[in-house]
Amino acid sequence: MKYEKIVVKTELPGPISKKIIGIDEKFVSHSYTRDYGMVAKRGEGAFVEDPDGNVFLDFSAGIAVCSTGHCHPEIVEVIRKQSQELIHMSGTDFYYETQVMLAEKISKIVPIENSSSDNPVMSFFGNSGAEAIEAVIKIARSHTHRSRMLAFIGAFHGRTMGALSLNGSKIRHHEHFHPLVPGVVHAPYAYCKRCPYGAHYPGCKLECFDFIKKTLMTKIISPEDISCVIMEAVQGEGGYVVPPVEFVKAMRDLTREHGILLAIDEVQSGMGRTGKMFAIEHFGVKPDIMAIAKGIASGLPLSITCASREVMNWKPGAHASTFGGNPVACAAANKTIELLENGILENVNATGAYLKSKLEAMQNKYEFIGDVRGLGLMLAIEIVDNKKDFNPDAELRDRILHAAFAKGLIILGCGPNSVRFAPPLIVTKVHIDMVCEVLESVFEGLKK
Ligand SMILES: Cc1ncc(COP(=O)(O)O)c(C=O)c1O
């Protein structure tokens, strides 16, 4: 079956979908946050079909995971081949080639400070973004013998207790779960559109950085106690916020000066999503530790935490995961990287620029689009009451998500009041034209 366009032929959700949602409601954890009733049955490229035969254009990619598109034939083939040969062995106790090959490849593509052939980039394998962050915390503590961490407001790093301790995006993530890992301090992120210091970028004095250096690190937390500063190169759940290059560079210099490790969470922004293999490459900075997950294996569960051999100097037994770096997931990751390097990255730059220009044109037309931002195919629009007052309008954002779904477009929110566009990285300009057509009709409908 080749999908080419959106087809909505039942009310949404359709009758079969409704039945599935009914069973889910009874038996599946209510902690999940489903914005609308999308039940996925089959996916191909940028499209997903539901059990009622409705075909949706997917600009969420399973939350930025299906990097090469749904069920890319070459990914399906390596999964098939690998699963006929070896499904599991556990890299914690044994060796297998797909994992070793992946680690070698990662050492070539991940930018890590002071890495060289004598101090190569090493990989620790897990299954999820949160697991990658747990490894970041343990590597940072074990290398520096310091316990504290600095994270950012607006950040999202996962839901396990360590990763959760670093989050700063939604109170629901924290509520009733304390005590968390102690010693974390959160600083405001460099969110220029809503600068907490009332400054305007460009032209500001980088007050966000000054606050960390001159206030936090002199009054609240000693830099001598900080094992790592952890930040997303582009904040994901926080609203697809891109910080200024100067801020990221200044954080790199400050961490280096105090022997603090700089950890970059590329779980959402990595694997080509921003038009470079890793978002941090846009900033000309190399971190000491990097966390990767989501798009790495085109949909199979896999995460990697990387650091140089010198930094990842923990001892055998210090950390491991039974399933982490499973042979099938590693095979899919090797193929994903090959596909990204052979055309998909270029596609991200071309189609990302095209989508951004179309969203900017809509911003000129609609009073409630306060901002268009992002890099590559990690783009968002921020929904406000009007451009002058610039008050967040979360309710309107939610109405947009629902109305888009009703017209066969899958998009998700991010931050309190933004809509994110995180499509599979294989989307074409034709898909983008379809999305914009749906958006225009949704936006026109809001006026009524
Ligand atoms: C930047 C970032 N880090 C970590 C995570 C956690 O990943 P996972 O849900 O796979 O644990 C996410 C998930 O959205 C993320 O966006």
Q: Whose CA is nearest to atom 8 of ligand 1?
A: 129
Mean pLDDT of 349-373: 98
What's the pLDDT at 447?
74
Asked if pLDDT for residue 136 goes beyond 70, the answer is yes
Is the CB of 236 inside a 6 Å radius of any atom of ligand 1?
Answer: yes
| Mean pLDDT, range 24-41, rounded to an integer | 96
User: Residue 21: inside a domain, yes or no?
Assistant: yes
Any domain includes 9: no
Q: Using the mean position of ligand 1's atoms as its centre, give its distance from the Cα of residue 2 in Å.
A: 31
Distance (angstroms) between ligand 1 centre and the Cα of 157 equals: 5
Instruction: Kindly report the three-state secondary structure assignment for every residue of 317-384.
Output: CCCCCCCCCCHHHHHHHHHHHHHHHHHHHHHHHHHHHHHHHHHHHHHHHCCCEEEEEEECCEEEEEEE
Last residue in a domain, options 269, 292, 325: 325
Quote the pLDDT of residue 137.
98
Q: What local confidence, expressed as pLDDT, does residue 413 receive?
A: 97
Contact indicator for 153, 166 with CB cutoff of 8 Å: no
Cβ(65)–Cβ(23) under 8 Å?
Answer: no
305 lines ligand 1 (CB under 6 A): no
Measured in Å, residue 52 CA sits from the centre of ligand 1 at: 31
145 domain-assigned: yes
Protein residue closest via CA to atom 7 of ligand 1? 129
Quick one: 167 and 310 in the same domain? yes
Residue 77 lies in a domain: no
Last residue of a domain, one of 269, 295, 325: 325
User: What is the model's pLDDT at position 187?
Assistant: 98
The CATH number assigned to the domain holding 367 equals 3.90.1150.10
Residue 78 lies in a domain: no
How far is it, in rounded angstroms, from Cα 328 to Cα 339?
17
Let me know whether 102 and 187 are in one domain: yes
Q: Who contacts 415 (Cβ-Cβ below 8 Å, separation ≥6)? A: 154, 169, 235, 237, 238, 239, 240, 241, 380, 382
Query: Is the pLDDT confidence value at 448 over 80?
Result: no
Distance 230 CA to ligand 1 centre (A): 13
Q: Are residues 145 and 227 in the same domain?
A: yes
Of residues 215, 353, 191, the one with CA closest to residue 274? 353
Out of 133, 152, 169, 268, give the residue to mutate to test ligand 1, the one with the largest number of ligand atoms within 8 Å of its CB: 268
Task: Give the residue-averaged pLDDT of 58-64.
Answer: 97
Q: What is this structure's pTM?
A: 0.98
Residues 434 and 378 in one domain: yes
Task: Report residue 353 as tokens.
Answer: 């620029």
For residues 278 and 368, membership in a common domain is answered with: no
What does residue 258 show for φ and ψ, rounded to 5 degrees?
A: -105, 10
pLDDT in tens, 388-446: 999 999 999 999 999 999 999 999 999 999 999 999 999 999 999 999 999 999 999 98
Q: Strand 261-265 vs strand 226-232: parallel, antiparallel, or unpaired?
A: parallel
265 lines ligand 1 (CB under 6 A): yes
Mean pLDDT rounded to a whole number for the chain: 97
Do 311 and 351 share a structural domain? Answer: no
Ligand 1 mean position to 143 CA, how many Å?
24
The total of other beta-carbon atoms located within 10 Å of residue 20's CB is 15
Backbone angles phi, psi at 125, to 5 degrees: -105, 130
The whole-angstrom separation of Cα 306 and Cα 268 is 15
What is the C-alpha to C-alpha distance for residues 232 and 262, in angstroms, rounded to an integer?
11
Determine, yes or no, domain membership for 66.
yes
Ligand 1 centroid – CA 148 distance (Å): 21
Ligand 1 centroid distance, CA of 203 (Å): 33
Query: Do 43 and 171 reside in the same domain of the chain?
Result: no
Residues 68 and 118 both lie in one domain: no
Positive or negative: CA dihedral 321, 229, 273, 395: positive
CA of 156 to the centre of ligand 1 (A): 7
Q: Grade residue 224 by pLDDT with cuts at 50, 70 and 90.
A: very high
Could you tell me what percent of the chain has a pLDDT over 90?
99
Residues whose CB is less than 8 angstroms from the CB of residue 364 and which lie 6 or more positions away in sequence, other chains included? none
| Contact of 308 with 143, CB cutoff 8 Å | no
How far is Cα 252 from Cα 270, in angstroms, rounded to an integer?
19
Residue 164 covered by a domain = yes
The verdict on residue 375 lying in a domain is yes
Of the residues 136, 137, 267, 420, which should be mutated to test ligand 1's pocket, given the most ligand atoms within 8 Å of the CB?
267
Number of domains present in the structure of the chain? 2
What is the greatest pairwise CA distance in the chain? 65
Tens of pLDDT, residues 332-350: 999 999 999 999 999 999 9
**Residue reference for tokens 């066969």:** 408
pLDDT for res 1: 63
Residue 274 CA to residue 221 CA, distance in Å, equals 33
CB 157 within 8 A of CB 236: no
> Same domain, yes or no, for 191 and 276?
yes
Amino acid at 95: Y
Q: Classify each residue of 311-349 as buried b or exposed e, where b means 16 or more C-beta atoms within 10 Å of its C-beta.
A: bbebeeeebebebbbbbbbbbbbbbbbebbeeebbebbb
Q: Are residues 245 and 272 in the same domain?
A: yes
What is the Å distance from ligand 1's center to 133 Cα?
9
Edge-first strand order for the sheet with 121-126 is 121-126, 303-308, 289-292, 261-265, 226-232, 148-152, 184-187
Where residue 191 falls among pLDDT bands split at 50, 70, 90? very high
pLDDT band at 117 (very low <50, low <70, confident <90, very high): very high
Complete DSSP assignment for 52-113: TS-EEEESSHHHHT-TT-BT-HHHHHHHHHHHHH-S---TTT---HHHHHHHHHHHHHS--T
**3-state class of 221 per DSSP?**
coil
Last residue of a domain, one of 293, 325, 357: 325
Task: Answer whether 158 contacts ligand 1 (Cβ < 6 A).
Answer: yes
Asked if residue 156 has its Cβ within 6 Å of ligand 1, the reply is yes
Report how far Cα 268 is from the mean position of its chain's Cα atoms.
1
What is the arithmetic mean of pLDDT over 253-264?
98
**Closest C-alpha to 155, from 200, 199, 131, 187:** 187
Range of the domain at 132: 89-325
Q: Contact 139/312 with Cβ under 8 angstroms?
A: yes
Distance of CA 129 from the midpoint of ligand 1 (Å): 4
Choose one of 169, 292, 294, 414 to mutate for the ligand 1 pocket test, by most ligand atoms within 8 angstroms of C-beta: 294
Task: Provide the CATH number for the domain around residue 146.
Answer: 3.40.640.10
Residues 409 and 369 in one domain: yes
Q: 128: Cβ below 6 Å to ligand 1?
A: yes
* Residue 232 CB less than 6 A away from ligand 1: yes
User: Would you state the pLDDT for residue 2?
Assistant: 86
Rg of the chain's alpha carbons, rounded to an integer? 22
Q: Which two tokens stand for residue 327?
A: 């042979």
Asked if residue 266 has its Cβ within 6 Å of ligand 1, the reply is: no
Task: Indicate whether 317 and 354 sit together in one domain.
Answer: no
**Span from the CA of 158 to the centroid of ligand 1 (angstroms):** 5
